[in-house]
Amino acid sequence: MTPRIRHPYLDHPGPIAFAHRGGAADGLENTVRQFRCAVEAGYRYIETDVHTTRDGRLVAFHDATLDRVTDGAGRIADLPWQEVRQARVAGGEPLPLFEELLETFPDVRWNVDVKAEAALLPFLNLIGRTDSWDRICLGSFSEARVVRAQRLAGPRLATSYGTRGVLNLRLRSWGLPAAVRRSAIAAQVPEIQSGIQVVDRRFLLAAHARGLQVHVWTVNDPESMHRLLDLGVDGIMTDHIDTLRKVMEDRGVWV
């Protein structure tokens, strides 16, 4: 499959293995320590999320609040970086700034879910200032946010579909009329959503016919990994980085 829009982000032979939050199953999600574990395991694509602090710093963190996985509390958007930086994941690991990740792991390509509208412009400014366009794919559940990012940054920014884009592609795969954004490079989707099968052969054919890769999240058992790779997906995101590596090694596609 040759994508219509061959962004440098996709320059990788064979299926792409993504470490979801660096490998969230290990209990240290979105920390430098966990990202380093993924890199040392051979991962070159890592999924993470960003929020902005009250004073505009971009933090790599999934939740809007600190409460679930840190010893801190409160909404990141309401707190200054000086306070957020005191929080610890699993009692010991600090939250990283996204800029720190770009510097610490220069060979990693990042799949970034921009979690809030307030984070979008600081994120694009950072990617521009560091000239990291080839290393970033921006995603969001908000189609409007992704479209705005694409409009602001142009084709140098790789983007995936938001929820609306995925729905429209699913409709097109069923032969129904729906508008499909042409500027995305990938559909990043769950295999099943709300009891509806998203990823099947028709969905893959519809995506590939439009030059889109299909990356599936979050896949944690080897049977599902094998099934999806047999189907022909272009990438898998997992919390269990050792499991996905073994599956891909067994298939001879680990690079």
Q: What is the DSSP string of the chain?
A: ---SS--GGG--SSSEEEEETTTGGGS-TTSHHHHHHHHHTT--EEEEEEEE-TT--EEE-SSSBSTTTBS--SBGGGS-HHHHTT-EETTTEEPPBHHHHHHH-TT-EEEEEE-SGGGHHHHHHHHHHTT-GGGEEEE-S-HHHHHHHHHHHGGGSEEB--HHHHHHHHHHHTT------SS-SEEEEESEETTEE--SHHHHHHHHHTT-EEEEE---SHHHHHHHHHHT-SEEEES-HHHHHHHHHHTT---
- Identify the active-site residue in 20, 51, 215, 240: 20
- Identify the active-site residue in 7, 51, 62, 215: 62
Known active-site residue 62: yes
Catalytic residues: 20, 62
